[in-house]
């Protein structure tokens, strides 16, 4: 009797055990985890019913426990406004400026890892057109053009951007490249100019898309950005010019191969040429130099095949009057003089955005006197950013004998660099 009673108790215990196990693992059954999982937490800006919102507004999104899976922005007529996400996912940026005194609705959905969703909707009204002054901006990239591999993206401002406003402005400057080749913006000290480049030269064939999305952006307390500008361009072959004052020679390279050596006459001691790394900014078959406002004394002269290197007026150009001095004596007002034949040949070889390096002259190039992004090394350039620069963004090549040796290679050590005729 006692033995049979113990066996019955044992069988009851064994039979009950699977029921306990099933109870412990019930959350693995379909639908149970989803029912118990918390939905993602989502915050959207501008806040609901916000008024006087700048037309540069973005749809800000902050999510915990999930990711943004849908954003829809519509105006007060029901039309959808296209927008693109920032790389860090912090906001969605309308692809064109919003309009003044209009109402917009943003509907954002976030989805958690277990499939639960949260949707937030916010409606806001933009500010009326302001009578505050605008800051003029100029973008150096034109659409459907082909540029050299050293072409920086440059935005200039009038009046200059104060330090405290530079981060906000920089966040509204966008560059995309195909293939991807990330870089950073760097401000010239006076705030008149900000330049963008990658650690290495652009690879030939790269497509560059730029947007300076500044229209309606509050800049400081008393001004707004002027115009939203955008352009797409292509990078062409690699061409670079090396000018050595010691030899009075220009070496012209294409894709790392020396094409020609050209005798030059640089700036005389009273008006020396700048030493440094600069970029061809403009090309003119014919132009007129008029320096009559120069306190050092001015002149007016017509020139052919002129290529601008600095804002201050340094060019490479044809100078038949100095052909006897080219290769041995500096007689110019700061420009690089070459013969008619060589100037004509250069115009067919170079592109806006090609690197020109001058060394051995009496003065150095001032940052911001032209497109000077390559006149300093990468570490120094990155220090000029008003926003954090990714730590891993570095040149792939630490020392290149010449920028034309490898397409897409890094810059040589910058020379230390100055205007003319």
pLDDT tens digits, one per residue of 176-213: 999 999 999 999 999 999 999 999 999 999 999 999 99
Q: What pairs with residue 175 in β-bridges?
A: 210
Encode pLDDT of 2-46 as tens digits: 434 443 433 333 333 333 333 333 344 444 444 567 899 999 999
Nearest to 254 by CA among 267, 270, 272, 236: 236
Q: What pairs with residue 303 in β-bridges?
A: 287
Nearest to 360 by CA among 245, 205, 271, 190: 245
Q: What is the DSSP letter of 386?
A: S
pTM listed for this prediction: 0.86
Residue of 24, 317, 333, 402 marked active site: 317
- Phi and psi at residue 342, in whole multiples of 5°? -70, -35
| Dihedral (CA of 30, 35, 41, 42) sign | positive
Told to judge if 24 belongs to the known catalytic residues of this protein, a careful annotator would answer: no
Q: Which two tokens stand for residue 172?
A: 């509204």
Higher pLDDT, 61 or 414: 61
Over range 343-360, report the average pLDDT. Answer: 98
Residue of 24, 333, 335, 402 marked active site: 335
Told to judge if 317 belongs to the known catalytic residues of this protein, a careful annotator would answer: yes
Encode pLDDT of 154-184 as tens digits: 999 999 999 999 999 999 999 999 999 999 9
Q: Is the pLDDT of residue 390 over 60?
A: yes
- Phi and psi at residue 236, in whole multiples of 5°? -95, -150
Over range 240-248, report the average pLDDT. Answer: 98
Nearest to 230 by CA among 30, 93, 59: 93
């Amino acid at each position: 009797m006692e033995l049979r009673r113990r066996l019955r108790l044992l069988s009851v215990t064994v039979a009950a055990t699977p029921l306990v196990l099933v109870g412990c693992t019930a959350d693995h059954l379909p639908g149970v985890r989803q029912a118990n999982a918390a939905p993602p937490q989502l915050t959207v800006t501008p806040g609901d019913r916000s008024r006087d919102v700048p037309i540069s507004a973005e749809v800000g999104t902050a999510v915990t426990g999930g990711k943004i899976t849908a954003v829809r922005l519509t105006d007060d007529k029901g039309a959808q406004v296209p927008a693109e996400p920032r790389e860090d996912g912090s906001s969605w940026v309308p692809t064109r400026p919003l309009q003044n005194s209009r109402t917009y609705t943003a509907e954002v959905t976030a989805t958690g890892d277990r499939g639960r969703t949260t949707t937030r909707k916010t409606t806001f009204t933009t500010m009326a057109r302001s009578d505050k002054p605008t800051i003029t901006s100029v973008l150096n990239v034109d659409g459907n053009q082909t540029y050299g591999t050293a072409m920086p993206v440059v935005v200039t401002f009038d009046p200059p951007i104060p330090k405290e406003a530079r981060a906000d402005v920089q966040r509204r400057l966008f560059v995309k490249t195909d293939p991807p080749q990330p870089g950073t913006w760097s401000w010239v000290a006076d705030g008149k100019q900000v330049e963008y480049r990658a650690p290495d030269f652009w690879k030939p064939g790269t497509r560059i898309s730029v947007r300076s999305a500044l229209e309606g952006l509050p800049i400081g307390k008393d001004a707004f950005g002027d115009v939203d500008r955008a352009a797409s361009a292509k990078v062409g072959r690699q061409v670079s010019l090396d000018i050595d004052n010691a030899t009075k020679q220009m070496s012209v390279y294409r894709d790392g191969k020396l094409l020609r050596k050209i005798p030059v006459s640089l700036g005389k001691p009273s008006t020396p040429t700048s030493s440094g790394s600069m970029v061809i900014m403009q090309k003119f078959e014919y132009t007129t130099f008029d320096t009559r406002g120069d306190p050092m004394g001015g002149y007016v002269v017509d020139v052919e095949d002129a290529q601008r290197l600095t804002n201050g007026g340094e060019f490479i150009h044809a100078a038949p009057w100095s052909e006897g001095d080219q290769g041995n004596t500096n007689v110019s007002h700061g420009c690089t003089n070459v013969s008619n034949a060589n100037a004509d040949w250069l115009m067919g070889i170079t592109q806006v955005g090609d690197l020109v390096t001058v060394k051995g002259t009496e003065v150095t190039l001032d940052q911001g006197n032209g497109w000077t992004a390559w006149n300093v090394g990468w570490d120094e350039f990155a220090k000029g950013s008003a926003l954090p620069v990714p730590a891993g963004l570095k040149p792939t090549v630490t020392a290149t004998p010449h920028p034309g040796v490898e397409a897409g290679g890094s810059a040589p050590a910058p020379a230390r660099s100055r205007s003319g005729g």
